Amino acid sequence: MWRAKEAESITVKDWEIVIENLRNAGWNCGCISSTDHKGRQFWVVAAERSDAGRFIVHADQELPAFLELESAIKTHRHNHECDCPEPDEELGSKRR
């Protein structure tokens, strides 16, 4: 039981780091949790910034949803010219 709580604590910390990095880079972001018609939980996370657009992703768990969001933003920045900062400057600054 203790290890389960420890693992849950680590997961929460990881997604909080992702969202903090996004917000520090000027992104408005948030998340919601809901269930589908079969009662399965899923997460929807979104981020937007006036100079880079809006990104919305969903996943079965919260951390993978935020990691997918972060990846989508980095990929978009890499594939499209935009005036936003380089991905290394805006995302992942507090990663270990």
For 14-42, b/e burial (b = at least 16 CB within 10 A) is ebebbbebbeebebebebeeeeeeeeeee
What was the pLDDT predicted at 41?
96
Complete domains list, the chain, with CATH? 2-90 (3.30.160)
Question: Residue 11's pLDDT band (boundaries 50, 70, 90)?
Answer: low
Mean pLDDT of 63-92: 72
Q: Summarize pLDDT for 39-75 with one digit per residue, the tens.
A: 999 999 999 999 889 999 999 999 899 999 999 988 8
